[in-house]
Structure 1
Amino acid sequence: MSIPDRPFASYHLWSLVAPATGQERWHCQMRRGFVKARQHEPKVKALLATATAPQRIGILAQKGVYEFHHHRHLLSQTDGVEKVAQLLKLSHSSEEVQQRVLQILTKYHNEPLLLNKRIIQLTPGDEGFPKPILIDQDDYCFRLYAAMDCVFIDSDRTLHILDFKTGKAAFDQRQALVYLLAARYLYPEQEAVASFYNLELCKKSDLIHITHQELLSLEFELAHIARKHQQDLQKYHQQTQDFSKIFPPNPGSHCRYCPFRSICDFADNPKLKSQSMPILRVNG
């Protein structure tokens, strides 16, 4: 398997390398190994291609918002929710997914957050990897990937990056920070803010701002993450038998929620807890 010529970073990689504050206990580096180093192996590839119910709900909810604004007349039609459900082929999903997505569509139809907004970008959520942003400084160079759900212009002409969520998980501000860094390159003349909106709970986050100095620090931090991950990939491809040393496990009760439990030799084995290496902590 070939290794990318240039290191890369993204919020997803950041979350795999370092846990969010308060999530250290459940963080497992081996998951990063499966996702980023062994993703082309048949068994791993099959697991990655199988969306869980929460993932399916998130994808369909995002696509539902996209369809409402792609076919704006549906926002004012009484059967708009039903029409969008048909566009999503929602009947092909499980009962749980159908019920929760229909509730999300109904709530959005009743109170469309983006109505009358000057939308610059609104993605359906299944478009794949975005075009990378090349960040090239004197002492580091890496590709930044930032898949933004929605970008619009606020009434005060501020660029607003909005990320949609579902479920009950807390917002991870690091994701918004990565988007703000990307905006610095994509929209250099625009003042930018970011926020989250939970489509299921109809809950908004506070607006997230970042100073120029904080952007520089963030860029350096992501460069560090990109280099570390690239080094780990190189180690693994040189010594594949050292997989569990390069991407150490952190087994425990949280293994029951891991998509790789069926192929992981370390899943939920308390005896191995003492063998797992320290978690890398990254500021932010």
Structure 2
Amino acid sequence: MTLPARVKVCEMGPRDGLQNEKAVVSTEDKIAYVNLLSEAGLPVIEATSFVSPKAIPQLSDATEVFAGIRKRPGTRYVVLTPNLKGLERARAAGADSIAVFTAASESFTKRNINMSIEQSLSAFGEVINAARLHGIWVRGYVSTAFGCPYEGTVPVDSVVRVTESLYKLGCDEISIGDTIGVGVSTQVHALIPRLSDIVPLENVALHFHDTYGQALANVEAGMQEGVAIFDSSAGGLGGCPYAPGASGNLGTEDLLYKLRGMDIETGVDLARVRAASRFIAGRLDHQLPSKAYTALEAASA
């Protein structure tokens, strides 16, 4: 199997990482955090979410954050927009890239956004259509692709069906997520060939959680199958709400360390990502879980 010569790293820390944090991070610190990540040369940063402030108070300052960050040429700044109202707020703030989300599990979709999968696709279809009318780039998320906290195993057919629907609705890129971190490499090898039949793999990203320590093995399996876009979070920020105390998002430092060791280009400065992680760690009430971040910080102390 031929591995990609270059991987696109999509940074999730400012949105997916911060949204469940108990410690309130100031608007100024969020802006500084995104700016530090930009300086690392990350090609994609999910900067914030234009969601209801009541739903996610931590991101209630989305407009101010997006206006305040320095937009580095060469970096795409994505914002999550759960509905048309969120899209309008994002457009007013000047966003040119958005993300929408659904899941491959009916139970998860119902509990998370109080819709069936089909209802969510219909609702997000309106958002995607409106976005594309204004020339806005769209990313779609498929959660629970490798397992669901309520249903357990999720059939590959369900993942394929939802992914195909998002692609046909007009998503430019689709991120397949292991929301609870239960996936293993054999599942990745089984899923990606099925997806490649319906979506060009250059439009597919993988989003792994490290809850059971499988994220990097799954990344390698994804690369072996032809995927070259991976989501991660600086410092591993963002715990798993379904496994309190366990690791959540794959750490960007862990991903970069592995890719560097495999001579795979990213264009991202690992030391500068560490600096961003160090900065945000000082605003939180816990240690960051990324193993590479922790080891590299200790080695340079």
TM-score by length of 1: 0.29
TM-score by length of 2: 0.28
The structure number with the bigger radius of gyration is 1
